[in-house]
Amino acid sequence: MRFLRLVWGNLMRRKLRTSLTLLSVCVAFLLFGLLCIINEAFSAGVTMAGADRLIVRHKVSLIMSLPITYGARMQRIPGVDATTHWTWFNGIYQDDPRNFFGTFPVEPESFLAMHREYLLPPAEREAWLKTRTGAIVGRTLADRFGWKVGDRIPLMSPIWPRKGDGAWEFDIVGIYDGDKKSTDTSGFFFRYDYFDESRAEGQGLVGWYVVRVKDPDRAAEVAAAIDAEFANSPYETKAEPEGAFAQSFVEQIGSIGTILLAILSAVFFTILLVAGNTMAQAVRERTAELGVLKAVGFTNERVLGLVLVESCLLAAAGGLSGLAIAWLLTLGGSPIPAVFPVFYLPTRYLLIGVGLVLGLGILAGLLPALAAMRLRVAVALRRHA
Amino acid sequence: MSNSGEGGPGANGILVRVDGVDRTFHRGAEEIHVLDGLDLEVPQGEFLALMGPSGSGKTTLLNLIGGLDRPTRGSVAIGGDRLESMSARRLAAWRARHVGLVFQFYNLLPVLSAARNVELPLLLTHMSGAERRRHVAVALEVVGLSHRANHYPRTLSGGEQQRVGIARAIVSDPTLLLCDEPTGDLDRKAGDEILDLLQALNAQHGKTIIMVTHDPHASARATRTVHLDKGQLSMEAPA
């Protein structure tokens, strides 16, 4: 602490240069934070996937349906604990394609039993079971449109027209929250029986099944048994762990992780050069002062430490500000909930960011610090004279 | 301020003993012999002026006595401490404790106030903040700059900066003051004030001073003058 004034004074010696370097580091870490938020948004489904859950879909494609009778048949397969089904509805609110969000007809009891990550008050659960046109919506979605329990919501579906060609109408009976920050609360779920009765075609079909297995260690074995059960039928299935299913969705737009890693590597390499150059210049221009420090008794190791602390302080001031700004940006919620329903900066990324700040500080300062450490007192003083 | 403990004079009162010292530098393939078998003894409490033409080895000799450089051959002992056998770390600690350095161009850190510059050597001690401040106040008072303690070097005159440099050199109460052309960058009046101050430190506080100078007017203030030419002592003259 007693050397802090000296370190601070050196940092403030060239205010413009320090400010610009600090700004560069800040922007790099802001970018890091934002990319981590996006990565988390894309991979939320993967990280939230239950290890004991399988997704069973049509073998050819997810857009092809499966019979409703498969649920009962799967229930009889050894190792299967429970099943529920989802169907892609593609609802659009107020006839505006921008008002798009995930809408799914589901069977309420088996759905809530399967997805315990969705927290619904008991009274609202009862209301859903009693109300045929009832729908539950996630907190993020309700906030987005200002919906509340009791509202009647008309939706259009380009996939599933209603008999008579009118809009689908739903009564909001509940608003669910997530048990974790990363739980997607932008969904709209309504009753399958109402949907199946009212749709113009496709009765008796569902989109895909979610299956809970009794023993997660035997998930692969159960998935194989399910596929075998429906082999050589008109509706052959592909069963896979929920995580793999979510990952395949993410990978439809490329390997997000690889893209982010490539961008961040380029950014950090550049910023390392910028910060390293600043430190090298800072040390070079005060050769004589370093000589004086050594002349009055500062050891080589202490001089090395002072330069490294200076470099780390520079990286910390810029990097932590960048991370803080990225974190603050998430407090207002997702700017595009339809694309990023999950929008937050996880603690693990913050910790990685702090590690990168420290690494940047040490790496940027290492060569100048070693040069300062090796500087011979008499040479440094002579150079000045 | 007084000298005590390690780094003090030997039984015969000799504080600095330079014995058969060579110092050779290399510039490419060329060898430059700056000091050549030099011997010198400086008694405790002496104010020695070291004179000589440019390139004669004055500053090199001062650096060797201050432990800022190492001899190619021979030995330098200060109060019985043989400097050439010390590790870099030990030598740094020894410098902090026993040597005060005054430079021609003051070499103050521009980012620190006068008081903070003076405090620098004390940062290496175990003194508390209050103790350090007290020592700094005394040192600044000795050099007559108490009223400029919070000023930064750029706002001080050359003479004032050199006084701060001297305060920094004496703040840890060292055995030995080494001054490299302390008046070389000052006008006559400011130079005289610095020389008055050095004389007072020598006479009133008992500091042993070795001063490199080109200026006969400055060397006249010393108790003894030594001339150095081509790496060897050519003449010694009492002041």
d(CA B59, CA B32): 15
Taking the CA of residue A251 and the nearest CA in chain B, the distance in Å comes to: 54
Question: Phi and psi (nearest 5°) for A150?
Answer: 105, -15
Q: ipTM of this model?
A: 0.88
> Which residues of chain B does A293 touch, with a Cβ-Cβ cutoff of 8 Å?
120
A385:B104 CB<8 A: yes
d(CA B121, CA B136): 10
- A interface with B, Cβ–Cβ < 8 A, is 2-3, 5-6, 9-10, 12-13, 288-289, 291-302, 376-378, 381-382, 384-385
Tell whether the model's pLDDT for residue B239 goes beyond 60.
no
B224 touches chain A (CB under 8 A): no
> Which residues of chain A does B111 touch, with a Cβ-Cβ cutoff of 8 Å?
6, 9-10, 12-13
The average pLDDT across B212-224 equals 92
pLDDT at A363: 94
B153 touches chain A (CB under 8 A): no
End-to-end CA distance of chain A: 32
Question: Phi and psi (nearest 5°) for B70?
Answer: -120, 145
> Which residues of chain A does B107 touch, with a Cβ-Cβ cutoff of 8 Å?
288-289, 291-292, 381, 384
Q: Which of B176, B47, B153 is nearest to B106 (CA)?
A: B153
Angle at B169 between CA B165 and CA B172, to 5 degrees: 140
Tell whether the model's pLDDT for residue B39 goes beyond 70.
yes
Angle at B95 between CA B94 and CA B100, to 5 degrees: 140
Looking up tokens 């048994």, which residue turns up?
A225
Which of B58, B63, B111 is the mutation pick for testing A, counting most A CBs within 10 A? B111
The average pLDDT across B219-223 equals 93
d(CA A370, CA A39): 38
Does domain B44-68+100-238 match CATH 3.40.50.300?
Answer: yes
Beta-carbon contacts of residue A183 (< 8 Å; ≥ 6 apart): A44, A48, A117, A118, A177, A342
Cβ pair A2, A294 in contact under 8 A: no
Q: Which of B166, B51, B64, B79 is nearest to B118 (CA)?
A: B166
Tell whether the model's pLDDT for residue B135 goes beyond 90.
yes
CA distance to A172, A208, B82, per residue, from A191 (Å): 11, 15, 93
Question: What's the CA dihedral at B121, B43, B199, B116 to 10 degrees?
Answer: 0
Residue A32: burial class (beta carbons within 10 Å; 0-12, 13-18, 19+): buried
d(CA A350, CA A105): 37
Q: Where are the extended beta strands (E) located within B52-133?
A: 73-78, 81-82, 99-102
Q: Side by side, which strands form the sheet with B81-82?
A: B30-43, B14-27, B73-78, B81-82
The average pLDDT across B181-188 equals 89
> What does pLDDT average to in each consecutive run of 10 residues of chain A (385 residues)?
87 90 93 88 66 89 91 94 94 83 94 93 95 94 92 92 86 93 89 94 94 89 94 93 73 72 88 90 87 93 94 94 93 73 86 95 93 88 67
d(CA A212, CA A83): 6
A295:B68 CB<8 A: yes
Beta-carbon count within 10 A of A262 CB? 11
Taking the CA of residue A287 and the nearest CA in chain B, the distance in Å comes to: 11
Tell whether the model's pLDDT for residue B4 goes beyond 50.
no
B121:A297 CB<8 A: yes
> Which residues of chain A does B60 touch, with a Cβ-Cβ cutoff of 8 Å?
378
pLDDT at B94: 93
Cβ pair A237, A59 in contact under 8 A: yes
pLDDT at B233: 84
**3-state DSSP call for residue A328?**
helix
pLDDT at A48: 56
Return residues 8-67 of B near A (CB < 8 Å): 59-60, 63, 66
The full set of domain ranges for chain B reads 44-68+100-238
Q: Which of B139, B138, B199 is nearest to B168 (CA)?
A: B139
Looking up tokens 């603050």, which residue turns up?
A328
> Which residues of chain B does A17 touch, with a Cβ-Cβ cutoff of 8 Å?
none
d(CA B148, CA A351): 46
The pLDDT tens digits of the residues spanning B15-35 come to 999 999 999 988 888 888 899
Cβ pair A174, A120 in contact under 8 A: yes
The pLDDT tens digits of the residues spanning B60-77 come to 999 999 999 999 999 999
Closest residue on chain B to A13 (Cα): B111
Alpha helical stretches, state H, chain A: 4-11, 15-48, 70-75, 108-114, 122-130, 139-145, 192-198, 219-229, 242-250, 256-284, 287-295, 300-331, 347-374, 377-384
pLDDT at B175: 87
